[in-house]
Each structure stands twice: as structure tokens, then as C-alpha cells.
Structure 1
Amino acid sequence: MISESRFTRRAIVAEPLEQLEALPVPYLLFLGDTTEAGFAKTAFGLADWAPDRCVGEYGVDGCTVSAGLPHLSPAQARAAGARSLLIGVANQGGVIGAGWVAALVEAMEAGLDIVSGLHMRLASVPELAAAARRTGRRLIDVRTPPEGIPIGTGRKRSGMRLLTVGTDCALGKKYTALALHRAFVARGIDADFRATGQTGIMIAGRGVPMDAVVSDFEAGAAEILSPDAAEDHWDIIEGQGSIFNPAYAAVSLGLLHGSQPDVFVVCHDPGRKVILGMESFALPTVEEVIDLTIRLGSRTNPAIRCAGVSFNTAGRDAAEAQALMEGEARRLGLPVADPIRGGAAFDALVENCLK
């Protein structure tokens, strides 16, 4: 139970994100007994975007999925410099499989902390809690927000901010933010990727899991996620959900108000017609998202603007994707690009963000 004082304090001074404890890196990626690649998206995301944070992978009997990293035992990974075993699986229900427990205990006995982004808490497994006490290793649940999050203040902070927003969930907000961050850094721009979901936090090594924050504190969490910075510094903030989603709009709006973006990029899957998991709701148009994001976002940053659109064109061939994006760019009067495909269209999007 959270104490009442957590909810009644109004003038809490929260720690800036840089002072919050970072995850213990590098990682040994744990693949469990996974046979379906889709359930290992956390491991693939880390291997794709943070290979320098991964020393290898480890699976138990029955595992047929690989992230393409060296297979190491926990003891071998520890000798290679790993500091934690990270559960790279996001299975149905977000549970810790019974067949995983012995391997997780083995990892702690080898000197590794355990990092998890699952809904199920690590310490809720008696064997893991006992092993952590015996070995002195930490059980780290990434979906745990920091203590002492204040309510939002709406105070304008120094520095520049970019937020990815979406027409729906699960269509590329994290990958777009990561790609934009990489492009900014390649141009010599001082920039940080600010993670708001469990996989993003594991990639960045720190962040705030916005879907686990009490709704009254969403804006405050976004404010400490992206504190005051140098005037020419950019925070590239990973978006969550959609302000049009009947289930998740609260998270999206709190993140929008608290992050106070100077620039936002709309992420969209042009093949999707209805909201994922809520087929009775039509997907909003890109124009609707731009309009409502500006109207709501201007409450805390009147200068907010849309820099362009990020399309998820997976499943389309290169020629079809290019023609689609060029047509939409002309129609909208904004750059439209697929950050995974890159190219001139993505360069134009980056340049418009920085304009």
C-alpha cells in the first residue's frame, strides 16, 4: 500500500532523472524457453538499439529464439563484465515462467542482479526472493516508478524537447524517438533519449515507466523525466499510447502536458484502420492528431509545432512505401518518412525537427 503522504504532498522536490539510479549494465539477455520471436521483442530491441549494453544471451531448454548474440552461461557472462540478467521476454500476461526460476537463481548465484519489465513482480516468486536475500543481489522491476513524484507544475523549462505521439499504440513511437536521437547525435547535437516504457528504459538504462504512474502524477513524472537543460540541448521523449485511445489517453495527455514539447512527430501505421484491440473505434487521421496535439499541448507550451510524420511501412516493398510517403508529404505539407528505411525522406524530417 502507498502511504497517504505520497498523495497529499504538493511541494515535493523530486530528483532529476540523472540522479535516479541507473540500471546495472551491461546485460545478459534472458530468452527463457521462448519459441515465438514476437514474445522476445524486448531482447530484439536491446540487441538492435543498445548492443553495447549486451554481452550475450541465455535461454533454457526449449528456447528456439535468438537475438544473434553469443550464448553465455551466467558465470561466463559475469566473467565477461555483465552486471545483470535482463528478462528479454514479454510473454502473454507478463508472467515469470516456472521453468525460468532455476536459471534466474543461477544468475544471482553467479553475481548478477535480475532486471524485469514484466507485470509480475520478481519478489513475488518465493525462490527468487530467497535467493536475493541469500546472495545480496537485487531484484529490479522496471515497471516501478521512482518515489516522490510531484504533481505537474506547468513551469516552462530550459532546453528543447521533441515528443513522439501516435494515432494508436504499438506503431513505432519508441523506434522513431530512437532513430531521431541517433540522427541528432550524428549531426553533433547534444541530445538525450528519454524513455517512458519498459523496453525503452532498458535500452537507455534509465527512465520513468509512465504506464505505472498514478494518473495525478503523470505530468510531474514527465517533468522530472526531462529537467532543465542547456538552451541548445534536445530531449527526445518516447511517446506512449494515443490521446485518441479510450483506454490509454490519460497517460498520453499527462506525458504531453509534462514534457512540454517544442516539436512533435506523429507516428502512424497507414495500413491500420481501427484502434488496436478496440475494433469498434476508427483510427483517427493524422490531421486530427496534429490538430488535437497542438490544441492540448499549447496549454503548457504555446510554441508547440508538428515537424512531420513517421510512417510504419513494414510489409510494403520499397517502391510502394516511397510512393505512399511522397504522396502523403505533398498532401500534408510536411515531411513523411519511415525512420527504419531512412534515406532522404528521413533526413528531411530530421531537418524540419531542428528548424
Structure 2
Amino acid sequence: MTLSQPYLLFLGDAADHLAAKTARGIHQFRPEACVGQLRLPGCKTTLGLPDMTVEDAAARGAATLVVGVANRGGVIGEAWRGVFLEALAAGLDIAAGLHNRLNDIPELVEAAHENGRVLHDVRHPTETYPVAHGVPRSGKRVLAVGTDCSVGKMYAMLAMERAMKARHLNVDFRATGQTGILIAGGGVSVDAVVADFISGATETLCPAHDDDHYDLVEGQGSLFHASYAGVSLGLLHGAQPQYLVLCHEPGRPHMRGLPGFPLPDLKDCMDLNLRCARLVSPDVKFIGACFNTSALDDDAARRVMHEASEDLGLPVVDPVRTGVDPLVDRLLSDG
């Protein structure tokens, strides 16, 4: 799935800042791809981008209207449809990662067909993927793995991509979830791929490459999460990573959505990921950890990261508080 840029970010009638987190992620990591924002009456957030109509955005060269807001249930509201029809008529594609599919709404499908435009339901892959082959391939791949879901795996890889591009390295972020796809402009939502083909889809996403090229692969779930470990394992094998980054939120009381399951010990988590990854990448190693310390004050955050670094013998960073340069340094020192 590949999206045409630049984007007009649709904030709709977002009730608060969190409702527009997808648009915020796109704007933060791909500001050059954003021409403006479109807000409906009642919208209670802003990205600080110019407010535009569809007509304004089309005149500025916008190619895709991106639905950057989510509501309860991930539904496409009636108030949104008129804007979507206007966008299609103006020559824009539409991309969304909601539970409701754009392609399940007949009037949008008809308008897209009439105007020669594309409706991208990024949560739902449209390609047919092969079964993984596991054959060693060239290029360098870094995969984010986690102690749990939603601990910053996408953020960690995007932060590393930005830091590595600042050093003029040959690097690409490889998106494996709907928000990552909207940020990157392409990718595979692996949690929507039929289980037998998760690894094959990931091999397709990050194929053999030049020896000096780095693919930074967005992780999903956790090998310790009773609900999502299958996706995590398929992604781990398909990515065939030479390097891993451990992602963790200190102080989280239990696995997300599973109150009866505590988070794993960091070393146990690293050990299991290494043992599973060695099936396809015998020399795989960790280069460090990314902690999400947003719930801690600065002193507590730095203490937790320092203690973890001493215990693991690896750099531990928070992409927001400290940046990820120590991870990049460790990666480059390994060659």
C-alpha cells in the first residue's frame, strides 16, 4: 500500500487532542508532507497548520485527504461524508485507518470510481503475500520489540530514522501498523494479515537491500502478550533483524488489557526475543532500549534509565527526553 503525498490532514470534529493522535504523529514525523488541516465545526484541537478547505488544499497540490482523527468505535460519521465526496471530486485520494472501511460506503466507492481516485483503508491489506522463506538476505534491519503493546515501538523507530538521516545514513522506516503507514506513506498492517502470511508480508516489506542500507521495522505487540504474541512472532521472523531495540514503559501495572498478566522482566523479555529471532538471524543482538518515561518526573526518569542501563549493559534512552543518539552510536559501532 502506497499513499500519494502531500497530505491534507482531516481533523473533523475531534473532541480533544488525543482523538487526533494519528494526525499529530504524521505532522511530527512528516511535516514536509502536510499542506494543511481541515477542521469541522466543534473541533477542539489543532496541529497549528493552516486551516484549509478541500478547494484550498487541492490548489496547493494536496494529493490525499488523510483521516487523522479517530472517534469512539472508529466509525465514519455522517458529517464527514460530504467532505470526503468533495475531496474525491477535487482529485484527492482518501486514506483512513478506522475500523469502518471507506470501501464499504457505496457513495464513496462510486465517487472514487467516477473521479479516478483511490480509497485507502490502511488497516486492511489489499495485496496477496507469499509464505515466508527465511532465506538470509542482504541489508541491515533493526526491529523494535516490547514488553507490552503501546510502549513506543513505532516512536522509537521513527526517532532513530530521524537521527540517522541527520547523519546522512541510508535508512528507511518500515511501517507495520495503520498509523505508521500514514506517516511513512506505505507499509503493511501486519495484524490484519492472515496468520500464515505475516512473516512473508514482512519479508516483502523489507526485502534484500544494499549492505549499507538500514531498514527500521516498526514492532507490534509483545511475545509476552497473551492476545498478540502471534503477530509479534511472525513479525520477528519475517523482519530477520540483525539488531533489536527493547521498548518498555516503566511502572506499567500489567499488560495492556490483561489485568492478570504482569509485565515481564526486561532480561527475560530480551532473552525470549533473541531465542526466537535466532531461527532466522543467528547473530541477532540488542543495541539498547527505549523507555517511555512520560509518567515520571525528570529525576525519576533519569534514575530508572540509568539503573536499567547498568543492569542490561546497554544504552537506555527516552526518545523524547534524551533522544536516541546512543542507540545509533551503538548500532554504527557494530558495523
Sort the TM-score into its range (normalised by shorter chain). over 0.9
Q: Which amino acid aligns with 1:119?
A: H
2:71 aligned with 1:91 = yes
Whole-angstrom distance in 2 between the partners of 1:117 and 1:207:
12
How far 1:285 moved relative to its partner?
Answer: 1.7
| 1:88 partner letter | G
Matched, 1:313 2:318: no
Identify the match of residue 276 of structure 1 among 252, 256, 269.
256
Q: Which of 71, 81, 99 in structure 1 is aligned with 2:61?
A: 81
Residue 158 of structure 2 is aligned to residue 174 of structure 1? no
Q: Please list the CA deviations of residues 162-182 of structure 1 after superposition, one character each: whole Å capped at 9, or x if unmatched.
A: 000011111100000001111
1:347 is aligned to 325
Q: Which residue of 2 aligns with 1:113?
A: 93
Work out which of the residue numbers 4, 11, 14 in structure 2 matches 1:34.
14
Aligned: 1:300 with 2:280 = yes
The question of 1:258 aligning with 2:247 is answered no
| Structure 1 letter corresponding to 2:124 | T
Pairwise CA distance, 1:39? 1.5
Residues 209-261 of structure 1: CA deviation (Å, up to 9, x unaligned): 11110000001011011111111111110001111111111111000001011
Scaled by the length of structure 1, the TM-score of the pair is 0.91
Q: Which of 51, 57, 67 is the equivalent residue of 2:31?
A: 51
Aligned counterpart in structure 1 of residue 170 of structure 2, from 190, 193, 200: 190
Which residue, out of 139, 148, 152, partners 2:119? 139
Deviation at 1:148, TM superposition (A): 2.5
**What's the CA shift string for 1:57-107, capped at 9, x where partnerless?**
001121111112110000000000101110001222221112111111111
State the 1:314 CA deviation. Answer: 0.6
Post-superposition shift, 1:146? 4.2
One-letter amino acid matched to 2:110: A
Is 1:335 matched up with 2:315? yes
The equivalent residue for 2:229 is 249
Residue type of the alignment partner of 1:352: R
210-219 vs 319-328, greater mean Cα deviation: 319-328
Residue 317 of structure 1 and its aligned partner are, at CA, apart by 2.4
Give the aligned length: 333
Matched residue, 2:44:
64
Structure 1 unaligned blocks of 5 or more? 1-20
The corresponding residue for 1:9 is none
Q: Give distance in 2, aligned partners of 1:161 and 1:54.
A: 28
Cα deviation, residue 184, structure 1: 1.6
Q: C-alpha distance in 2, partners of 1:159/1:94?
A: 37
CA distance in 1, matches of 2:167, 2:313: 25
* Matching residue within 162, 165, 168 for 2:142: 162
Query: Normalising by structure 2, what TM-score?
Result: 0.96
Provide the rounded CA distance (Å) in 2 between the counterparts of 1:348 and 1:43.
Answer: 28
Task: Give the AA of the match of 2:227.
Answer: A
Gaps of 5+ in 2: none
Contact 1:111 1:137 in 2 (8 A): yes
Contact preservation (8 Å) 1:146, 1:208: no
Q: What do the CA deviations read for 1:151-208 (whole angstroms, capped 9, x no partner)?
A: 0101011011100001111110000000111112222221111111111111111111
Q: Post-superposition, which runs of at least 4 consecutive aligned residues in structure 1 deviate over 3 A? A: none
Identity level (%): 50
From 181, 187, 191, the equivalent of 1:201 is 181
**Contact 1:60–1:103 (Cα < 8 Å) also in 2:** no
Partner Cα separation in structure 1 for residue 295 and residue 250 of structure 2: 11
Once residues 187 and 150 of structure 1 are traced to their aligned partners in structure 2, the CA distance between those partners, rounded to angstroms, is 35
> Take 1:260 and 1:133, find their aligned partners in 2: how far apart are those partners?
39
* AA partner of residue 171 (structure 1): V
RMSD: 1.3
Whole-angstrom distance in 2 between the partners of 1:230 and 1:82: 33
What one-letter code is carried by the residue in structure 2 that aligns with 1:176?
A: A
CA deviations over 1:259-290 (Å, ceiling 9, x no partner)? 01100000000020200111111111211110
Most deviating of 132-141 and 60-69: 132-141
Alpha-carbon separation, structure 1, partners of 2:56 and 2:157: 34
CA distance in 2, matches of 1:104, 1:154: 42
